[in-house]
């Protein structure tokens, strides 16, 4: 029987599971414009309210992935491995991991995204390097990974068009926050982009798509199941976004921080989380048997400089000015730098990470509208983390802006986003859980 959209909506409205055929009909109809937006929206709301089981979620993901091109990376020797973050602030792990993991022998062929809302995007960061091309053809992309083991580009081809259609409707119908819809949206693009090993970084906390640990673990588990059912090697780490991961927020500033980490000049949470994600990428790629072994390999690539050398190779291969790896002052520099004074004595208790990300966006580090032009030089550097003690007047952060007006705005916003209280506070835990196909390890 040919499925019909009204009966499908009716079925999900009553809380029943949809068949593979019904789900494929819906995803194809969304991709090809043969189902009306209002009917798609009604079904999305029924899914948001009544959920989907594991089999439905897998079927929806596969149908969305197959609605467009499926990238074939089989010409790349080894196990092409990818890392995907659900989105954060000061989350520069890709710029560190892609070269570091490649330096350890696991190919990284990665398609990244632009900044969205309060979160930064790897493509925008890379474009702060003069000349860097994110728009390689598929043939150039594969040839570069064959030659040097790593490439990071923007999405090429027509990946998961059903997701584009559904995401646009979810955005305007209050149906983004549905676990099966988020999991299938993210994983449809990951499956279509061809990686065989996939390490997910699911953020939790004030700057994350999921605010509670429980919801974040559930999302991680749903995505790991989808990938595993589709034959990919999967693991997810649930990591903290209760404050920005690195201290630098803003495009060129984050590139600088990644170079500082790869040069061994900077330690801290960004390095810790990068090593954890990287060790699982090495396991997925077959270069390590245990996370400890993976971490030891990554540390030696840091210490012997091969990770930084790989970043230099990647930048040069994609037309960028690779001298930034040895002289970060060649990155775009902001005109105005001002400190952000603490207004009270005490301990940092909480940061509104979403507000911090929005502040960076508002001063020009991100887009408010699709056509906005980014100022790569602007952003801020945090000097303190949750748990640190401060005195009035201590610099909580330094803002990098194009003018005094933006600096005054950013100073005020950062002061408001950071809660300082008299009683002591503990630093945040960085890694909350490791979610594998057959087990969840809470850390």
Q: Is 84 a catalytic residue?
A: yes
Helix residue ranges per DSSP H, 106-250: 122-127, 138-148, 161-171, 179-192, 213-229
CA-nearest of 284, 255, 264 to 105 is 284
What is the binding site for ligand URA (CB under 6 A)?
Answer: 167, 176, 181-182, 185-186, 209
248 is catalytic: no
Catalytic residue among 85, 178, 184, 185: 185
Q: Are 270 and 245 in contact (CB under 8 A)?
A: yes
- Nearer CB in complex with Ca ion: 41/408: 41
Token representation of residue 394? 């201590």
One of 163, 229, 260, 406 is an active-site residue; which one? Answer: 163
> Pick the catalytic residue: 84, 232, 338, 432?
84
Residue whose C-beta lies closest to ligand URA: 185
| Residue 185's binding partner out of Ca ion, ligand URA, none, with CB under 5 to 8 Å set by partner kind | ligand URA
- Give whichever of 64 and 103 is closer to Ca ion, judged by the CB atom: 64
Alpha helices in 287-386 (DSSP H): 291-303, 306-317, 353-360
Least distance from C-beta 86 to ligand URA, angstroms? 6
* Minimum distance from residue 184 beta carbon to ligand URA (Å): 8
Query: What are the beta bridge partners of residue 390?
Result: 346
Considering the complex, state which of residue 129 and residue 192 has its C-beta at the smaller distance from ligand URA.
192
The neighbour count for residue 294, using CB atoms within 10 Å, is 26
| Cβ closest to ligand URA, residue 182 vs residue 287 | 182
DSSP string, 68-106: S-----TTSSS--EEEEES--SS--HHHHHHHHHHHTT-
Which of 48, 83, 110, 189 is catalytic? The answer is 189
Which residue is at the shortest CB distance from Ca ion?
A: 37
CB 30 to Ca ion: min, Å: 7
Query: Of 11, 83, 170, 384, which residue is the catalytic one?
Result: 170
Q: Is 163 known to be catalytic?
A: yes
Query: Least distance (Å) from ligand URA to the CB of residue 189?
Result: 6
SS3 (DSSP) at 381: strand
Residue 398, CB-side half-sphere exposure with 13 Å CA sphere? 11
The partner in contact with residue 316, picked from ligand URA, Ca ion, none with C-beta cut-offs of 5 to 8 angstroms by kind, is none
Nearest to 124 by CA among 311, 404, 375, 420: 375
Q: Which residues bind Ca ion (CB under 5 A)?
A: 37
**Which residues are known to be catalytic?**
84, 163, 170, 185, 189
């Amino acid at each position: 029987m040919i499925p019909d959209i009204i009966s499908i909506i009716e079925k999900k409205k009553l809380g029943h599971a949809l068949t593979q055929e019904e789900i494929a009909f819906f995803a194809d109809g969304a991709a090809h414009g043969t189902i009306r937006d209002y009917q798609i929206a009604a079904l999305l709301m029924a899914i948001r309210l009544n959920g989907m089981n594991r089999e439905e979620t897998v079927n929806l993901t596969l149908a969305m992935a197959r609605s467009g091109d499926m990238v074939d990376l089989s010409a790349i020797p080894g196990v092409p491995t990818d890392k995907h973050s659900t989105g954060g602030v000061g989350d520069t792990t890709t710029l560190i991991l892609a070269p570091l993991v490649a330096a350890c022998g696991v190919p990284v062929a990665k398609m990244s995204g632009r900044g969205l809302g309060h979160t930064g995007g790897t493509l925008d960061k890379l474009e702060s390097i003069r000349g860097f091309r994110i728009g390689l053809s598929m043939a150039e992309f594969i040839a570069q990974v064959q030659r040097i083991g790593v490439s990071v580009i923007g999405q090429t081809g027509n990946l998961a068009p059903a997701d584009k259609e559904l995401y646009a409707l979810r955005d305007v119908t209050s149906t983004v926050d549905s676990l099966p819809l988020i999991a299938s949206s993210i994983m449809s693009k990951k499956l279509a982009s061809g990686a065989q090993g996939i390490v997910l970084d699911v953020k939790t906390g004030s700057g994350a798509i999921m605010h509670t640990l429980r919801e974040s673990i559930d999302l991680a588990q749903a995505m790991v199941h989808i990938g595993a059912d589709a034959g990919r090697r999967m693991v997810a780490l649930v990591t903290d976004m209760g404050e920005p991961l690195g201290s630098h927020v803003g495009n060129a500033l984050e590139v600088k921080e990644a170079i500082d980490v790869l040069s061994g000049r900077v330690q801290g949470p960004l390095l810790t989380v990068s090593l954890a994600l990287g060790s699982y990428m090495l396991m997925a790629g077959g270069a390590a048997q245990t996370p400890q072994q993976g971490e030891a390999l990554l540390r030696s690539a840091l210490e012997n400089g091969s990770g930084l050398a790989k970043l230099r190779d990647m930048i040069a291969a994609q037309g960028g000015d690779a001298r930034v790896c040895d002289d970060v002052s060649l990155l775009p520099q902001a005109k105005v730098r001002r400190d952000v004074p603490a207004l009270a004595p005490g301990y940092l208790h909480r940061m509104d990470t979403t507000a911090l990300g929005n502040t960076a966006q508002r001063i020009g580090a991100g887009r408010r509208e699709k056509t906005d032009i980014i100022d790569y030089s602007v952003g801020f550097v945090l000097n303190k983390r949750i748990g640190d003690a401060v005195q009035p007047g201590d610099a909580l952060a330094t803002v990098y802006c194009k003018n005094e007006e933006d600096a005054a705005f950013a100073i005020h916003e950062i002061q408001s986003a950071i809660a300082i209280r008299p009683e002591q506070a503990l630093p945040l835990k960085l890694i909350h859980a490791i979610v594998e196909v057959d087990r969840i390890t809470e850390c």
